[in-house]
Chains A and B, each alone.
Chain A
Amino acid sequence: DQQVKQNSPSLSVQEGRISILNCDYTNSMFDYFLWYKKYPAEGPTFLISISSIKDKNEDGRFTVFLNKSAKHLSLHIVPSQPGDSAVYFCAAIFLINAGNNRKLIWGLGTSLAVNP
């Protein structure tokens, strides 16, 4: 059973508009959420993260919103640029033992296409 779900496999937006990528989760023990971007033939690169005690984190054109009651987070890209075209992975982390070891759970990704 998937604990982190990205229900939209793909998204297409016009350059300059807002891109909104969504992620739902089921485990209330997650304490950190991250977004990664992945270009073809490259490894994922870290984009932005948010602690479970916050509801918003912003970094330039990228903002992540967390709605804990709905177990939902979203990544907003404003304005979208053609170079943002990539696969975006949502990931969540929770503490698995007293030794401070954490487990990272990944969504399946959403492919974003930003059209000029």
Chain B
Amino acid sequence: NAGVTQTPKFQVLKTGQSMTLQCAQDMNHNSMYWYRQDPGMGLRLIYYSASEGTTDKGEVPNGYNVSRLNKREFSLRLESAAPSQTSVYFCASSPPLGYRRGYTFGSGTRLTVV
């Protein structure tokens, strides 16, 4: 089925380790997003990419970097993981005017930093 694919689904890191969360969409959407969800905090935007070749900071970008590799792929990198980055991470995509029909989300990556 068409959609947004995130890998890995689960990951445990030690403090200071680095890792990259991968996201790919096959719907030819222009815009892609990375969110984190924490209990009592709702969904918070980390970074977004309005189109291929552009990226912008969201509400909580500190400690993260992103790469819009091509139109399909948008990766999120943690250079030096911290326990505060323990969260569930969601990637999403949307077409132009996609806000009218909502974003398509991946199934999430549950990250634990110990």
- Residues of A participating in the B interface, judged by any CB pair closer than 8 Å: 32, 34, 36, 41-47, 49, 51, 89, 93, 101-102, 104, 106-109
Contacts and interface: CB of A to CB of B under 8 A. Distances in A.
Contacts of B107: 41-43
B108 A107 contact: no
Q: Is the interface of A mostly helix, strand, loop or mixed?
A: strand
B62 to A, nearest CB: 19
B99 A102 contact: yes
B92 to A, nearest CB: 7
Interface residues of B, number: 20
Contacts of B108: 41-43
Contact of B42 (A43, A45, A102, A108): A108
Q: Is the interface of B mostly helix, strand, loop or mixed?
A: mixed
A65 B42 CA distance: 22
Given A43-B90, A43-B92, A106 B42 contact: yes
B24 to A, nearest CB: 14
Contacts of A89: 42-43
Contacts of B45: 104
B60 to A, nearest CB: 13
A45 B44 CA distance: 16
Interface in B81-114: 90, 92, 99-108
Interface centre among B40, B42, B100, B107 (most CB of A within 10 A): B42
A107 B44 CA distance: 10
A32 B42 contact: no
B41 A108 contact: yes
Contacts of A45: 105
A49 B101 contact: yes
